[in-house]
């Protein structure tokens, strides 16, 4: 499912939260320590269209593409974070996984009315 930022915050299960940029950076660093490309490790094994193509879904993240880039036609998936950008037009960062890249990248592309994917995290007790 795709959510606007406020919807993503409304549906947070008790004991969970939207990830921060730091959460995604930690995930990226952990996967790289295991000697994998982060984007490839998190992408689903099918439905991706582009140069780098399918993923390996090594950790059950199973990122499916949500749209195609208008310029390149590459599949991509955007994930909300709770980290603020300081930009009133695009107040929260998103993390993007693209078919044409094997990594993840952070952008402030989306406004709060943009639709993106959600992966909630739960802190260790």
pTM of the model: 0.88
Question: Cβ(17)–Cβ(120) under 8 Å?
Answer: yes
The number of residues making up the chain comes to: 125
For the chain, the helix, strand and coil percentages under 3-state DSSP, each to the nearest 5: 20, 25, 55
What confidence tens digit (pLDDT) does each residue in 1-60 have?
A: 899 999 998 999 999 999 999 999 999 999 999 999 999 999 999 888 776 667 899 999
Question: CA-CA distance, 108 to 86, in Å (whole number)?
Answer: 10
């Amino acid at each position: 499912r795709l959510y606007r930022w406020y919807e993503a915050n409304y549906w947070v299960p008790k004991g969970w939260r939207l990830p921060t940029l730091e959460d995604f950076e930690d995930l990226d660093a952990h996967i790289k320590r295991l000697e994998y490309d982060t984007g490839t490790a998190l992408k689903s094994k099918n439905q991706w269209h582009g140069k780098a193509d399918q993923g390996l879904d090594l950790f059950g993240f199973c990122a499916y593409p949500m749209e195609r880039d208008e310029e390149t036609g590459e599949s991509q998936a955007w994930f909300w974070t709770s980290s603020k950008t300081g930009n009133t037009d695009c107040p929260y960062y998103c993390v993007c996984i693209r078919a044409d890249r094997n990594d993840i990248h952070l952008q402030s592309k989306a406004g709060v009315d943009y639709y993106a994917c959600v992966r909630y995290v739960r802190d260790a007790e």
